[in-house]
Amino acid sequence: MPELPEVETIVRGLEKKLGGAIISTVRELRDGMVEGDRERFFAALPGSQIREARRRGKLVLLSLVNPRAKTQDETLVFHLRMSGALLVREKDALPDAHTRVIFGLEDGRQLFFDDVRTFGICRLLNEKEKETWPFWKNLGPEPLEISQKDFDALFARAKRPVKSLLLDQTVIAGIGNIYADESLFRAAIHPLSPGCALTKPRLKKLREAVKEVLAEAIEQCGSSIRNYRDANGNAGAFQTRFRVYGRAGRPCARCGATLEGMRLNGRSTVFCPRCQPL
């Protein structure tokens, strides 16, 4: 499930491989993957050149220019959700059962948008839609860039559990279930602690833990559980560093107490009852 570090890894791969490439064809193999103005999507993409690959939260952004059309510049956006993958394939590569959208490139290569569970979406985004697409408009700040002061303000008046806040993309962008649990463990904060109950020193610890976990995971090219792969089809390595995620019932690496599992907002949540007291 691509979260910020996985998306960052994918984007770095795409930037290397796709910078300057021109899209010639688009084929949606399964309905519902293309969101927003579908008509514009299929009309505007052929002939568009990919200028750069970027990331915002968990979104993959490919900035496009179309020298032939007189339309404004667009951004091709992907949200990979649970099981999406973006794979650069050679000319004669064939789609498999989970390939949902195929972007043919002028040089013959293909960009496959694969997604087993089909929760992922892609869409075009122009300046106007940046004001009207709620997910984009309401997306919170980047955790690797936010100042401590702004970070503190996200939690100061919020009564909700700190983990709910970390997972809320309108509060802070890019953190998912894995890195929320791992960050809270490193900061020694109970997932149910209300945001407003966190003191300044604990918020400082939390921001540092979030940044540290994300940076380490990016260094390891993300975590591969189930089917995550980057643009080259490679797996990440951070899953070997998990201290709590997926480890309920096993001993805490720090203190030896049995890690506890619970459900929060329908998500599996693992924490150490001794290291992360409420």
102 vs 162 by CB, closer to DNA = 162
Give the interface segment with DNA, choosing from 41-49, 87-95, 201-209, 260-268 (CB under 7 A): 260-268
Clarify whether 74 is annotated catalytic.
no
Binding mask 172-191 for DNA (x = CB under 7 A): ----xxx-------------
104 vs 236 by CB, closer to DNA = 236
Between CA 8 and CA 196 the distance in angstroms is 30
Backbone dihedral angles phi then psi of residue 62, each to the nearest 5 degrees: -110, 110
Clarify whether 243 is annotated catalytic.
no
Q: Which tokens go with 261? A: 């599992």
How far is residue 241 from each of residues 1, 220, 274, measured CA to CA in Å?
A: 16, 10, 20
In the sheet that 59-65 helps form, which strands lie side by side, from edge to edge?
49-56, 59-65, 74-79, 121-125
Among 65, 82, 93, 237, binds DNA (CB under 7 A): 82
Q: How many CB atoms lie within 10 A of CB 255?
A: 10
Please name the residues in contact with 203: beta carbons below 8 A apart, sequence gap of 6 or more. 148, 151, 152, 155
97 touches DNA (CB under 7 A): yes
Clarify whether 205 is annotated catalytic.
no
93 touches DNA (CB under 7 A): no
Q: Which tokens go with 50? A: 């990919």
Residue in this structure with the two tokens 């491989």, named with its chain if needed: 17
22 vs 80 by CB, closer to DNA = 80
159 touches DNA (CB under 7 A): yes
- CA end-to-end distance (rounded Å), the chain: 28
Nearest distance, CB of residue 130 and DNA, angstroms: 14
Please report, as residue ranges, which positions from 139 to 158 form the binding site for DNA (by CB under 7 A): 158
Among 106, 265, 277, 278, binds DNA (CB under 7 A): 265
Angle, alpha carbons 67-73-78 (nearest 5°):
120
Among 3, 129, 152, 182, binds DNA (CB under 7 A): 3
Clarify whether 267 is annotated catalytic.
yes
The residue ranges that bind DNA (CB under 7 A) are 1, 3, 57-58, 79, 81-82, 97-98, 116-119, 134-135, 158-161, 164, 167, 169, 176-178, 226, 245, 265-268
- The set of catalytic residues is 2-3, 58, 267
